[in-house]
Each structure stands twice: as C-alpha cells, then as structure tokens.
Structure 1
Amino acid sequence: MGSQNKMRASESARELLMMAAREGDSARLNHPLGNHDATVVVPMPEVVVNIDDIDSLTVSRVEDSVLHVVAASARGDNAEFLESASVIHSKAKHLLDASNSKGDTPLHCAARAGRIKMVSHIIYLATAEEGGDARVKAVLRKQNKKGETALHEALRLADRKMARAMVDTLMEVDAELARLPIANGTSPLYLAVSLGRDDIAELLYSKDKELSYSGPDGQNVLHVAVLRSQGMTNKLLEWNMDLCKQGDQRNGSTPLHFAASCGFDQAVASLINADKYSAYRPDNTGSFPIHVASKASVVRVLLEKCPDCLELQDAQGRTFLHVVIRDKKGTLFRFVSGLFRASHQVLRFASIMDMHDNEGNTCLHLAVLAGSVPTLHCLLGNKEIQMNLPNNNGQTALDLALHKRPKGSVHFGLDSWYQIHSLLVATGAKYGAHLKEHGPILNEKEEEDKINGYTPTIGIVSALLVTVSFTAAFTVPGGYRGEDAQQKGGTPVLAQNYSFVVFIVANNLALLCSALSLASLMYAGFTSIDLRIRSKAFVLSIVFLNSSGRSMVAAFSVGIYAVLAPVARAVALITMACSTIMLLDIGWFVYMATAAQLVHFNRLRMRQCFRFALTMVATLLVSLWPYAITVSILIYTRIYGIH
C-alpha cells in the first residue's frame, strides 16, 4: 500500500513539474525542485525527487526533461521561460545536454522550435559552467540518434530569415559546427543544399572552409546539388573538385550518374568540364554515366564532350545502345541513331550495333527480345548492320523472333512479335547454323482458351448489330408515305434520294456481315471440329464483325445526312465527318505496313516495290471492301438512275 502511494505521489510530482515547465512558471518550478542540491522534497507525503537522477525529471513519453519542455515551448523566447530555464539549470546542470529517447538535447528542441533567444540563453548557461569554451562546444556538438546537431534543426526552419539568423548565431559561437558529422551522415551543407537554401550553404562555407560535404548512404553534397541547383553545382566544384569522384555506398554512383539518370544536361556538362574522367568512371554494376542517361540532351552532351564513351561496355558487356534497346527507350535510341547518320558516322554506328554483349547478343538480338518494332525499323534501315550474327547459343535474331512469334491463328495482326518475325523474313534474315526449327509447338489448350474467352463478347456484339441493322431496315430515315398516296402508299419517303440508297446498301451489308460473323462464330464453338479450322473460323468472325461495324457507322452517317441535308446541311456534313473516326484504325494499319515496307525498300530496293504495293492494296481491300461496294452501287445509280 505504501509503495502504491509513493508511485501515485511520484506521478503527481511529474505532473506538477510538467505543468510548471509548460507555463514557464519559474516560481512553481523553484518550489517542487527545492533548494537542496541533492534531493528535493515535494509537498506530498513521502515524495522525493532526486535531481541527480535524470529519469526523475522526465515528464513525457519521449523522456523529455523539464528543460526540454521549457526550451521547446511556443513561448520559449519570453522572459519567464528564459528565467525558468535558468532555475532548472541552477538545480540540475546535467540537464543542459541531457538527451531524450530520440537523442535530442534541449538545444535541439529550442532550435527546432525556432526560439533563437532560448538558443542563445542555453549557450549562455553553458558558458557559465566550468570548462568554458570546451563546455559550450560540447553542448553545441551533441548529436542525436540521427547524428544531427542543433544546426541541422535550424536549417529545417520554414522561415528562411529565422533559419539564417539561427545558423549565424550557432556558427558565431562554434565556427567548426558544420564539420559534423565527420563522415557517412547528413552534413549541414548537404541538408542546406537539399532544401534549396543556397544562401545558407554559402554562409556555412564562408564560416568554415573545412566544413563537411558528407551525405547519407555515402553520398556527398554534389550528389544532391546536381538535382537541385545548377548554380550551387558550379560553386561546389569550385570549392572541392574531388566531390566528382565519390560514389555512394548503395550503387557506387557518382554525381555524374545522378545528373545523367535524371536528365540534367547542364549539370552533366559542368561535371565533365570539371573532371572529364568522370564520364569513364563506372558504378558498382559496371555502368558508366552514359548507360544511365535518360534524355537525348544528356546523351548529346556526353557524346560531344567524350565521343568514345558510346563504346564503353558495362559488366554485362553492353554498350549504351544495348541498354537503351533492352530498356525499350525507343525515342532515345532513334535520336542517337539519327545523330550518327547526320554526322556521317554510319560505319562506326554499325560497328557498335554489331558489338556482342557477354551473352553474344547484338543490338538486333535485344530489339527482338524487347519486342520493339520501331527500334527494329531503325536498325534495319542501316544497311551496314549484320543481320545474321549468332549469339552464344548459336541463335540469330530470326531464331529469337521465331520463338517469340504468336502460336496458332488467333492473334492480333499488328502483334509486335508477329511483325518482327515477318519483317526479318522479308528483309532476308537467316536462321542460325543448326537443325531447322519449326517454331513453337501449338498449345491446343491455350488456343482453345483464347477462342472460348473471346467468343461471348464477339457473339453479343454480333447479335446486337444484327438486331440494330434489322430494325433500321424497317424504321428507315424519313419514314413512310401515307396510305392515301397515289400507288405508293407505305413506301419510304426518301426512296428516290441517292443518300437513302447508300443507307440501304450500307445497312444491308451490316446485317449480312454480322450474320456471317455469328455463323463463323458458331463453327468456331464446335469442339468436334479440328482446332485449326475452328481458329480460322474465329478469325473470320472477327473480320466480318469489323466490316459490319464499319457498314453500320456508314449507314448511320448517311441516314442522318439524308434527313438533315435539306434543312441543316452543315450539321449533316459535320456528322459524317465525325463518323470518319472509324477509319483511324485503318490509318494505323496502313502506317505500320508502310513503315515496314519502307525498311524493305531501303534494304532490297526495287524487288520490294511490288511487295509494298501488294501489301497496301490488300490492307485497304480487307478494311474498306464494304465502302467499296457501297460507293460502286452509288455510282451505278448515278449513271443508270434509281429503279
């Protein structure tokens, strides 16, 4: 029972101390702390506060002492709080640099709160103790568990003027304070630059030319400067040229690696001008700055300053171009290849493209593995590149494309792997010197799953198109004539209109194609039929569905035109123009086919002209045959009239 009373009394004493500290009441602080140097008797039964025991003066969950609370108070610069700090210090001098659970001292708390008078007062109290300057420096240089001093807290203040004044106050007392931490930690200079406080960074350097440049994870201040400020980057290079050489602990990346990977071309130029060898300094993975470059402007600077860095190989034996192709940076690769062609370095470019990595892969191999059709177009556009070089497994680019090509008949016509294989075959690529391979074996279960997965969607859309086109055939635009009309009652009002004829033809084609799509889909669903036949029927259903959709859109736009043209011709024309959006996919197909054929033409010249023309005609016919039929009937009716 007695021990419980003591615990309750102790908690009450802590509460009294906390409230007195928070309110800055020096008189109330003086009362519970008492006047004895060793122990303090609180006016409660059997309660004794031992001043020599730091824990006895702890008043918060982070183990803040009463001096921490006073120093961090929002009114910490008021006279009563300064007096309270003096009272506490007079009774418990050891609290001046005592640490809480985070390692923060009262000076850390005062600096974090922006209480410049409290900071100055704590420094004054340290000056009054035995030890003089040594004691003051010990208080100022006390680091928390993050390795930071009060100077770090001052730098984080949101008020720039207050932060500068606080830094100036601390540095006036200890000019070498910015040297902490000595190594492998965030220095005040690093923190100032990372926060964009360039003026304070210059102030720190003006106070001490030997200040610390260190940063977290083995970085130095130049690592962050290249990402923040070009002006500060230039100043740091003037202050310490050796900063260019240091790599971080995580990857061994130098400041030039950082600048190149983030695309800061001006910083890259400054770093190379200061230390040209930095472009040839690899990180821990063997990657050079050009391997991690992310923008064309950075690559341009690197090639202008160090032209031969393009030939540097990383630990996997890959050049910058290998890495760009592997990582699918198509835009950057096209820029580089265009740069070489423009500067008449075609042969040199080709030699780099034909360079093997540790697995024997050239850039052409990697382009196939990455599935990048535009990159392959760019590569094949250079006739100097060798197409049939094998890798360490004896595989050429065509071998890799064969293994990547989609299996079965159900695949998208512009599938990248399918295009790549077709493109390589058309340009004369050869297989490696090994037994003939017939490509991936068809996985019947996978092929059947494709058909079964797409069948419901295609079936529903086809059925909807059948319903819509069938309904449109009997609810024609313009309506029907009344029964009292002479010999033509119940016939369409616009029957003699050419646009109405086009509507009827397009709608009939939509109905026919959607019905054929359903019929083909029915055969594709019969499991008793050979899978290859089912696959072809499934593909045919997609073709008919596509044609039905185009015909339906044509019927809609022409029907609107037939109704609105006499009264609102502009609206009718706008409606028809909007309907041409359905032709965008055709434009895409034509573009892709054209790009591929141009590559053929560049490599094989006139022999591919016929192939090019045939491909274009076939693509347009497959996509536009409903429109061709509709236009043909329209021309016929124009010539011979509507019967």
Structure 2
Amino acid sequence: MDQSSSNQITESQNLNSETFSSQTEMPNQIAAVSQTEIPHMDADLYKALYRGDISFLKGKYSEFAHLQPQLTPKRNTVLHIAAQFGQLACVEWILHFHSCSPLLQQPNLKGDTPLHLAAREGHRGVVKALLDAAKTLHQEIESGVGTDEAMLRMTNKEKDTALHEAVRYHHSKVVKLLIEADPHFIYGANSTGYTPLYMAAERGYGDLVEIIIDLTRPSPNHRGIEGRTALHAAVLCRHQAMTKKILGWKPKLIKEVDENGWSPLHCAAYMLDAAITKQLLDGSSQDKSVIYLGIKDSNRTALHIASYNGCMDIVELLLSHAPDCCEQVDENGNNVFHFAMMKKHPSHFGSELLIKDGLRVRGLVNEKDAQGDTPLHLLASFGVNDVDFILDKTVDKMERNKEKLNFSDNRFSSRNKFSWGTLLALESPQLYHLRERIKEYLRRPFRPSSLQQAQVDDRFEGFKKYLRLPFRPSSLQHVIRKDDSKYGGKIDDDDKEEDKIISSAKKASETHLIVATLTATVTFAAGFTLPGGYRDTDGMAILTKKASFKAFVVSDTIALTFSVSAVFIFFSMAFQHALFYDLNMRTWLHLFSYASYLTLLGMGAMVVAFTTGLYAVLPHSFGLPILTFHCIFSSLFYLYASHVGRESMRLGRWKLKI
C-alpha cells in the first residue's frame, strides 16, 4: 500500500462515531461535487451492483478510480449499494481494491455507512466481509480502537449504530455477529432514547434480549424512553420468558421507576397480567418495598391500579405478599375500596373485596378521602351497580362528606347511571330479595344447606335494617351535581365515551323511527285498498286467484310486520330508559341494529308489494318491464342494505371493545 493511501486510511479512521453523526468530512473526490448539483450513478453500474453482475463490473471497471466518484442522490457509494442489496460477490470485488478503505466508514446523507445498510437488511455475509476488511487496516493511534470497532461504533444522524439497525428489524444472526466483534462496548441510546437491549425488549424479541445479555461484557445498557428499563418493556409487551430472563440477569430492575414513577409492577397491574405480576413478586421476595411504591404526582400503588381495573387475581397476589399495603392511600386519600368504585366492572368488584378477610374492616370500607367521600359515595356518583356492597352491614350508609351529603343524596343525583336491578333493590328491597331467592332456587335443584340458608337469612337481615334507615334527603341535601370535576378527575373516560355513543344512537333512532312509522302506515293502508278492488256480491278481492296478487298480499304483510316490529323496538328503548335507566351502550347498539335491520327489510318488502300490485292490475305487456325494473332495483337495494349492515356490525363490534 502506497504512502498516499495510508494517509487516507489514517485520516478516515480517526473519525469517531460522534464526528460522523454531526459533521462528516467527505473525500476530495466527493467534496468536488457541487452542492447544488444532484449526483447520480451510472445506470449500468447501479443495475450491475444490485443484480450482482460481477462479470460486467470486472469487464468495465478495472480501476477503483472509475468507481469512487460514482454517487447516488442520497450520496450512496458503490459499496453502499452492493451492501444494501446483499451482493456479497460485488462487495468482495470492491474491497479487493487497496484504495477502497475510505468507503468502509464513508457515510451517506443520512449518516449510514455500508455496515448500517447491510445490518438493516440482515445480510450476515456482507456484514462479516465488511468487518473482516476493516480488521486488516492499521489500528488507530489516537484512540487505540481498531478500524472494525470504530466502524461498529459509528452512528448515523439518528444516532443508530449497525447494532440498532439489526435489532430493529430482528436479524438475530447479524446481532450476534456484531456483538461478538466488539463485546466490551456499551451501546448508548439513539435519538429517540432506545438502546439495543430496550429496543429488543419493547418489540418482544426474546431471542435478541438473550443474545445481548449473554454476549455483552460488561452488562449492556438497559435504559429506554422516558426512563424505562428493559424490564418495563418486557412487562408491557407481556412476555413472560423475556421477563424471567431479565429478572435473572438483574433482579434490582424491579425497583427501577421511569420518569413518571411507574415501576414494572405498576405496569403489570395496568396490563392485568397476573402471571407476570407473580414473576415480579417472586423475584422481589427478599425486598417487598416495590409493592409500596407510589406513582409520581399521584402516589398510586400497584394495588390501587389493580383495584381500579377490577383484577382480583393481582389484588390477591399483592395482598398475599404484603397484607398491610391495603392501608396505603393516594394523594387524594383514596384507598383500595375507593378505586374499586371509580369504574364500572362486569362483576361486583367492591363486594368481592369485602369477602377478603384482610380487607373487611370498617376502617377501610368507610374510610374518607380528601373530600370526605367514602367508597359508597363514589359508588353512587359513578353509578356502580353493586347491590351487595350497598347492603352489606359493614358499610356505613349514613356517613356524610364535606358537602354534608350521604349515599342517598349521591344516589338521587346519579339515578340515571344505575341499572334497573340496583334501583329495584334500593326502592323495594323485599321484591329484590324475593327475586334473588327465586334465582337461587332455580340455580340449585336441591334444597340449600343450613349454612347457605343462614347466609341468605343474614342477607335478608341487612335488607330489613336498610328499610329502617332514614334515606330520604331533605331539600337542602338533595343536590344534583352538574360538575363532577370535584372528584379530582375520577370520572371514567369510558363512561363519557359511552354517553356519546348512546346520544348518537338516540338521534339516529329518531330518524329510523319516522321511516319505520311511514312504512307501517303505507303498508297498512295498502292492505285495505287492494289492487283490482272487491266483488259486489260477496266483498272478496277480485284478483284473488292471480299469483302476482298473492305475492302482493304476502309482501305487504311482511312489510307491515317488520316495520311495526321496528317501531315497537324503538318504543321499548325509550320506555325502558325513561322508567328504569337500564340501557347501557351494549344494549343500545344491539337494539338499534335489530330495529334498523327490520326497517330495511320492511322497506324492501314494501317495494316488492308495490311492484307485484302493479303487475297484478296491468297487462302483461306493461307488467314485464315493471318486473324487470323491480328486479334490478331490488338487487341494488339489497346490495346496499347488505353493505350498510356489515359496516354497522363492524362498527358496533369495534365500539363494544372500547
């Protein structure tokens, strides 16, 4: 190698990763290209590079001086193109030139070196060839870092190394090769805050997490965005094997919190994953302080989050490891029972908490928050239909908050949020008790045991005690709250979204009701003004024996039946909501879809009745075109109706997931 080439190599190697990410020094040939002129590579050369036509390259480009000035608009060199498309033969042919060494670390406009592109595309053979070529160069004098290691540590404008690129696109063989080439380097975060380990964990690449942890010496950087660790990422993607691997590697990560104060245990409770929660608790069996950690600015613990989401399995796990964590409250003074009442659950979660021996104490059940509200106040405010909790003898139903309001006052202000069953229990406990007894006997074909009977009788005693309480509020106490913000942001966003959906369904149902009523009116009138008229002798229809007349009668009857059924459903929706306040989003959407289908079918049957009626009274020369037009129109109508129905059901299923 001549002296000039050696100088070029030394100058290129002295550029470290930070220099390439901020300011890049181009070779003299590239610097000569005008900044206003868009460079372009010879078309035949570009095709030969991405096709791997090595014979063409050897025949036309015998000297490297002919290849080096060739650049694409993104400032990619010939080595960039060959490496990007994984053409190993072309890469090796380019590298055999002694003066090609500057191309190994030469970045394009985005700061990507050929190694970046090869690692991004997962071309392991090309990556190995580039690293082997870099090893043959002299060791840098100033930094003491080999050329291959300097190339591995180079970052692009996004501060991504080749390892970042290989991890992002899940190229496990390339990742292993890159780490083995420089196992002692600690990779930092890119511009978005991702380290290779965190990136692999967040994307659920368990095999890459294992490779990075096992091969990197010393331990790799585990930090990610917003101060999270790789354990946070593993928990959030609900990957048990990866969680186990990270816990075995560094158990202390369970106590690490992000910028918002969330620990991995908070994340597991938020994701409702009891299996990973158990892994975390078992991993921290020697130090249980993580259970008591509170989120920044709110001081909510994992128990509070699990209670809010109604996950009894996680609540039981947390209480089994630290029974006294139930005494913790957030910054607003809310305990585990308060959080259970802040959100509607399919099951009666508050009454399920009462069953737990470690929670069934009046100090917790009736504890007041910063605004003086007990869990029962929140149950009424949010309309949680938990009759068992309301009627439990442990719950104090007359406790008042700072506004001098008790449960009954809140109940009246939130009446439209309670279900019919809850209102029945509050207004007529005996009737509700009778209904529950009947349901109990229907579920059990045999006579209940003495223990079961004692439980039922004890519950009935709670009903009788409830009847003796002075629940009717005075005029000063009967306050309807128009602003729920006094609860400090406890209003459930799901309830707000549900109210919007129900409001939209109400407006649409009014229009559908008008259409269904008009259809019923028209078909009802057509039933008494039959086409062809009546005979004077016996008053029977004249066209009784014609097939088209029979089709008219059948289709008109179907149209009337469907439209009246739709009107009845819309009427029942309004009736139930007015009396019982028992229509939630799911019920509204189901009833609305049923009534809409019936309205569409009634309209279609009405069109059939109109066409068959005309065909029955007109000559066949006129009836045949009418029938043809009807068939075309009906086909288009039902295709449109089918499309609308599918879209409605798709949107309905999507909204039901909210």
**TM-score for the superposition, normalised by structure 2:** 0.56
The alpha-carbon distance between structure 1 residues 399 and 86, as it changes in their structure 2 partners (threshold 3 A), is: farther
Matched, 1:428 2:441: no
Give the superposition deviation at 1:416: 7.5
Distance 1:330 1:96 in 2: 61
SS where residue 341 of structure 2 aligns?
A: helix
Distance 1:388 1:363 in 2: 12
Maintained 8 Å contact 2:200/2:206: yes
Alignment deviations for residues 414-435 of structure 1 (CA, whole Å, 9 cap, x no partner): 4978987888996735477883
The alpha-carbon distance between structure 1 residues 22 and 310, as it changes in their structure 2 partners (threshold 3 A), is: same
- Hey, what does 1:305 align to over in structure 2? 321
Give the superposition deviation at 1:353: 2.4
1:201-350 maps to which residues of 2 (within 5 A)? 201-208=209-216, 209-226=218-235, 227-249=237-259, 251-275=260-284, 276-284=288-296, 285-293=298-306, 294=309, 295-329=311-345, 331=347, 334-335=348-349, 337-341=351-355, 343=357, 346=360, 348=361, 350=362
Give the superposition deviation at 1:17: 5.5
Matched, 1:367 2:379: yes
Percent identity of paired positions between Structure 1 and Structure 2 = 24
Give the superposition deviation at 1:175: 0.9
The alpha-carbon distance between structure 1 residues 438 and 64, as it changes in their structure 2 partners (threshold 3 A), is: closer
Worse-superposed segment, 431-440 or 272-281: 431-440
Distance 1:29 1:452 in 2: 71
Distance 2:514 2:419 in 1: 21
Distance 1:321 1:462 in 2: 49
Maintained 8 Å contact 2:265/2:280: yes
Give the superposition deviation at 1:143: 2.4
Distance 1:205 1:455 in 2: 62
Maintained 8 Å contact 1:26/1:84: no
One-letter amino acid matched to 2:226: D
Matched, 1:171 2:179: yes
The alpha-carbon distance between structure 1 residues 391 and 336, as it changes in their structure 2 partners (threshold 3 A), is: closer
Matched, 1:83 2:107: no
- Hey, what does 1:353 align to over in structure 2? 365
Maintained 8 Å contact 1:111/1:154: yes
- Hey, what does 1:97 align to over in structure 2? 105
The alpha-carbon distance between structure 1 residues 171 and 460, as it changes in their structure 2 partners (threshold 3 A), is: closer
The alpha-carbon distance between structure 1 residues 470 and 199, as it changes in their structure 2 partners (threshold 3 A), is: closer
The alpha-carbon distance between structure 1 residues 318 and 200, as it changes in their structure 2 partners (threshold 3 A), is: same
Maintained 8 Å contact 2:187/2:221: yes
Maintained 8 Å contact 2:41/2:70: no
Matched, 1:387 2:413: no
Give the superposition deviation at 1:403: 3.1
Give the superposition deviation at 1:238: 2.2
Alignment deviations for residues 326-356 of structure 1 (CA, whole Å, 9 cap, x no partner): 122352xx3453353263853x1x3222112
One-letter amino acid matched to 1:94: P
Give the superposition deviation at 1:23: 4.5
Distance 2:507 2:179 in 1: 75
Distance 1:459 1:304 in 2: 59
Give the superposition deviation at 1:119: 0.7
Maintained 8 Å contact 2:376/2:397: yes
One-letter amino acid matched to 1:287: R
SS where residue 399 of structure 1 aligns?
A: helix
Give the superposition deviation at 1:190: 2.8
Maintained 8 Å contact 2:40/2:70: no
Give the superposition deviation at 1:389: 1.9
- Hey, what does 1:114 align to over in structure 2? 122
Worse-superposed segment, 197-206 or 414-423: 414-423
Give the superposition deviation at 1:140: 0.5
SS where residue 100 of structure 1 aligns?
A: coil
Alignment deviations for residues 581-601 of structure 1 (CA, whole Å, 9 cap, x no partner): xxxxxxxxxxxxxxxxxxxxx
Distance 2:256 2:153 in 1: 26
Maintained 8 Å contact 2:238/2:276: no
Match of residue 72, structure 1, among 68, 76, 84: 84
Alignment deviations for residues 221-277 of structure 1 (CA, whole Å, 9 cap, x no partner): 11122344323322322221221111223x321111111111221221222233311
Distance 1:246 1:183 in 2: 22
Alignment deviations for residues 421-460 of structure 1 (CA, whole Å, 9 cap, x no partner): 888996735477883548699xxxxxxxxx9999998899
Distance 1:460 1:273 in 2: 62
Distance 1:427 1:416 in 2: 18
One-letter amino acid matched to 1:435: L
Maintained 8 Å contact 2:118/2:126: yes
Distance 1:463 1:177 in 2: 78
Matched, 1:144 2:160: no
Distance 1:458 1:7 in 2: 69
> Which structure: larger Rg?
1
SS where residue 146 of structure 2 aligns?
A: helix
The alpha-carbon distance between structure 1 residues 326 and 82, as it changes in their structure 2 partners (threshold 3 A), is: same
1:471-486 maps to which residues of 2 (within 5 A)? none
SS where residue 286 of structure 1 aligns?
A: coil
Maintained 8 Å contact 1:184/1:218: no
Maintained 8 Å contact 2:329/2:335: yes
SS where residue 396 of structure 2 aligns?
A: coil
Distance 1:458 1:255 in 2: 52
Match of residue 154, structure 1, among 166, 180, 183: 166
SS where residue 124 of structure 1 aligns?
A: helix
SS where residue 193 of structure 2 aligns?
A: coil
- Hey, what does 1:527 align to over in structure 2? none
One-letter amino acid matched to 2:179: M
One-letter amino acid matched to 1:22: Y
Give the superposition deviation at 1:174: 0.7
SS where residue 392 of structure 2 aligns?
A: coil
Structure 1 gap ranges (5+): 43-48, 442-450, 476-481, 484-489, 491-513, 522-534, 540-643
Maintained 8 Å contact 1:394/1:432: no
1:587-602 maps to which residues of 2 (within 5 A)? none
- Hey, what does 1:22 align to over in structure 2? 50
The alpha-carbon distance between structure 1 residues 107 and 364, as it changes in their structure 2 partners (threshold 3 A), is: same
Matched, 1:125 2:133: yes
Distance 1:119 1:396 in 2: 72
Distance 2:219 2:325 in 1: 35
Distance 2:333 2:101 in 1: 64
Count of paired positions: 438
Distance 2:470 2:57 in 1: 90
Taking only aligned residues, the RMSD between alpha carbons, in angstroms, comes to: 4.8
The alpha-carbon distance between structure 1 residues 131 and 178, as it changes in their structure 2 partners (threshold 3 A), is: same
Give the superposition deviation at 1:370: 0.8
Worse-superposed segment, 271-280 or 144-153: 144-153
SS where residue 326 of structure 1 aligns?
A: coil
Structure 2 gap ranges (5+): 1-32, 430-462, 483-505, 531-536, 541-563, 580-658
Give the superposition deviation at 1:32: 9.4
Give the superposition deviation at 1:378: 2.5
